Structure 1
Amino acid sequence: MQEEVLMAWLMLSFVPRLGPKRLARLLSIDAPHHLVQYSPQQWQAVGLKADQIDYLTQHAHQQVNECLAWQAASAQRHIITPLHSTYPPLLKSISAAPSVLFVEGDPQCLTEPQVAMVGSRNASVDGQKSAYQFAEELAHHGMTITSGLALGIDGHAHDGALAGGGKTIAVLGSGLAQVYPARHRRLASRIIERGALVSEFCPQTPPKAVHFPRRNRIISGLSLGVLVVEAALKSGSLITARYATEQDRDVFVLPGSIYQANHSGSNDLIRQGASLVQNASQILEELTTFVNWALTEQKTRQQALFSPPESEEQLPFPELFANVGEEATPVDILASRTNIPVHEVMTQLLELELSGHVVAVSGGYIRKGRG
């Protein structure tokens, strides 16, 4: 990506009180690298307030330069936007998808099949053991394990994934130059070598309480499903589970004793309809379609898909393709129009993209070859 375009995305991403949804509306007006060249009067005309205009004129360039300096300091550091090929399609499909992701490690692993694992920071010994063993087995079967680097369940899930010879992703509630908690800095270094650290916050951003619920939507958004290992009522894990439900992801739960507070939230999720699981095989069975596609069929499909497109009747998914036009159409709109689940729409779109029929752009997908 041209540095000019990346700088524009960064400038707009950190305008005060301009969240992902409001930013998306702004991007529907003009391209990022055009918007940042507006005059204060033009910014006001598109709805920006005085403090937001002040940020763009007085502070944005310094913050952008700090971000670019962070990236330039290591070949393992990356800043990706929805225009990058490594921006994960599943995450792009969620409401309020982050406009910028800071990644340290391998950004390609963000696009691989993932299971999120969450639970209590004050986990029991049994909970810690379960997190480690489930992550180890899932990783051994090719699933990337995604969590939040917190103490307790998160840390043991990351450790288990690494022990299983797999990859793991840690989504932080701080900037990547401010790894939190400090006790997990060594673990973070190991994750960089076998996965990635991810954050939507500028690298020097310190951890704040308000950041952690916000980062939970990314943990679930990256994943095919979320496993709640051990969670009390009103815990952050339940926030992640709620996001997963809203994002049409599967929610799996390990059951626990009704006499232990650390399992009250988990058991309540089961009562509400989440899938009770007792071993990793049950999770893999639920995600068979995605796992098989990602792990055993992808190469075969790619070989067949790179032939030139012939006609809509010969397309693998004519109904979906018929709803993709010359204007960017979001994934959730395509799912609504076709009555196809979001996760299946994402799978079909990837196949159409690999075959050269559609292109992922800011705001959704378009037919390839538009004027």
Structure 2
Amino acid sequence: MERDELSAWLRLLLTPGVGSSSGRRLLARFGLPQEIFAQSASQLEVCVSAKQADSLRQTPAELTVQFNTTWEWLSQNPQQRHVLTLGDPCYPAALLDTEDPPLLLYAMGDADHLQQGWGQSAPSSIAVVGSRNPTAQGVANARQFSQTLAQAGLTVVSGLALGIDGAAHEGALEGAAPDQLATIAVVGTGLDRVYPKAHFQLAHKIAQQGLLISEYPLGTPPLSANFPKRNRIISGLSHATLVVEAALQSGSLITARLAVEQGKDVFAIPGSIHATQARGCHALIKQGAKLVESAQDILEEFALPIGAEIAMNSVAAGADTAASNSISGLERSLLDALAFEPAGLDALQARTGLDTPTLQALLMGLELQGHVARLPGSLFQRLAQS
């Protein structure tokens, strides 16, 4: 992209009072942004209000700084850093069919990946979303489902948030082939920032085998209003949405609702009727979301072959089950008493009759073997593979 063209797009993006809807009307009538800014106020008022036309006739105060920042950012690594406009051939076709496609997208990742996973063929991508405060089982589910889905050739789309999002990205990176677009992270900040900071290394990995996407200018901080808004891009880039765990007020339900509005499938993993993190999924299932118990359920819905590598993983899972059978009889009794819902020491003592030192020793051993997770509040939860 030439300097003048980039400057014009940024000016349109930064013009106060002119959002993406008004911007698309202007582009449809006048063509490229340079042509928009060459129009008189009366000509502009055919598409927008007089106040918006007046704003378009003035140069935003922050344009020079934003242009210089963006141009330098692009120049530092042109193979990894990109700006995609509505007219760019690499702009995701899937977003063009949504109600509110961004005028401009910032992207970070290998240029070859810009040609993959954009929805030209169905199905090629799936959103995997959920709670920022998941259970240990929820994290494991997100990772395992995403790994299997990526092995089947799907691109996993999520939001780089703590909890389920991060686990989904990690699972996809583990399961994808080296040349595959493993995962897309749609973020709510400028791409020169990583939020949360705990995902700095994960974001770096995604840039190598996936894409980081944002509609927000460089330097944009993590503003709370931006995260629900970016969910329309997560659902828009995906052929379906899987909600792993979600409370009733979770932002993941926004993504699911947007997917339904876009005419796409929603899948949900059920959980305990007593678990707060499962209530959002249960609500979605009541509303018509498809209950899934394994990634294979989704692949069958998409009519995708499971494949040899995934079958090998099933064999490995069987080996894990065999390994779990090697635990002692006392440990097995404790696992049966724990079941799959969080429980405290008092409850476990009442169920098993074990004294406190023996119970704590058994729980520690099972935790080290990966059969039990320790939760906040001195609670323990059995993991599904045990």
TM-score range (shorter-chain normalised) is: 0.7 to 0.9
Q: Which residue of 1 aligns with 2:118?
A: 111
Q: Matches of 1:183 and 1:116 in 2, distance apart?
A: 21
Q: 1:65 aligns with which of 46, 65, 68?
A: 68
For residue 185 of structure 1, give the secondary structure of its aligned residue in structure 2: helix
For residue 270 of structure 1, give the secondary structure of its aligned residue in structure 2: helix
Q: Which residue of 2 aligns with 1:209?
A: 224
Runs of 5+ unmatched residues, structure 1: 293-371
Deviation at 1:291, TM superposition (A): 11
User: Contact conserved, 1:11 with 1:61, CA < 8 A, in 2?
Assistant: no
Change (3 A) 1:271 1:57: closer
Deviation at 1:108, TM superposition (A): 2.7
Q: Which residue of 1 aligns with 2:16?
A: 16
User: Contact conserved, 1:109 with 1:195, CA < 8 A, in 2?
Assistant: no
What letter matches 1:173 in structure 2? G
Q: Which residue of 1 aligns with 2:38?
A: 37
Q: Matches of 1:41 and 1:66 in 2, distance apart?
A: 33
Q: Matches of 1:65 and 1:30 in 2, distance apart?
A: 26
Structure-to-structure mapping, 1:227-242, within 5 angstroms: 227-242=242-257
Deviation at 1:7, TM superposition (A): 2.9
Question: Is 1:49 aligned with 2:51?
Answer: yes
Q: Matches of 1:264 and 1:48 in 2, distance apart?
A: 48
Change (3 A) 1:55 1:253: farther
What letter matches 2:4 in structure 1? E
Residues 73-109 of structure 1 show CA distances to partners (whole Å, capped at 9, x for unaligned) of 2120000012122111111110010111100003233
Question: Is 1:74 aligned with 2:74?
Answer: no
Residues 139-165 of structure 1 show CA distances to partners (whole Å, capped at 9, x for unaligned) of 011111110000000000001011113
Q: Matches of 1:228 and 1:252 in 2, distance apart?
A: 6
Q: 1:137 aligns with which of 133, 138, 148?
A: 148
Residues 290-316 of structure 1 show CA distances to partners (whole Å, capped at 9, x for unaligned) of 999xxxxxxxxxxxxxxxxxxxxxxxx
Percent pairwise identity: 45
Q: Which runs of 4+ in 1 moved over 6 A?
A: 289-292
Question: Is 1:282 aligned with 2:297?
Answer: yes
Give me the TM-score of the superposition, normalised by structure 2. 0.71
For residue 260 of structure 2, give the secondary structure of its aligned residue in structure 1: helix
For residue 49 of structure 1, give the secondary structure of its aligned residue in structure 2: helix
Question: Is 1:147 aligned with 2:154?
Answer: no
Change (3 A) 1:203 1:82: same
Question: Is 1:273 aligned with 2:280?
Answer: no
Question: Is 1:163 aligned with 2:201?
Answer: no
Deviation at 1:111, TM superposition (A): 1.9
Q: Which residue of 1 aligns with 2:207?
A: 192
Change (3 A) 1:245 1:55: farther
Say how many residue pairs are matched: 292
Deviation at 1:52, TM superposition (A): 3.0
For residue 266 of structure 2, give the secondary structure of its aligned residue in structure 1: strand
For residue 56 of structure 1, give the secondary structure of its aligned residue in structure 2: coil
Change (3 A) 1:174 1:190: same
For residue 288 of structure 1, give the secondary structure of its aligned residue in structure 2: coil
Q: Matches of 1:48 and 1:185 in 2, distance apart?
A: 44
Change (3 A) 1:48 1:150: farther
Moved more, 211-220 or 24-33: 24-33
Change (3 A) 1:260 1:55: farther
Runs of 5+ unmatched residues, structure 2: 308-386
Q: Which residue of 2 aligns with 1:90?
A: 94
Q: What is the Cα-based RMSD across aligned positions, in Å?
A: 2.3
For residue 298 of structure 2, give the secondary structure of its aligned residue in structure 1: helix
For residue 263 of structure 2, give the secondary structure of its aligned residue in structure 1: coil
Q: Matches of 1:225 and 1:290 in 2, distance apart?
A: 17
User: Contact conserved, 1:86 with 1:110, CA < 8 A, in 2?
Assistant: no
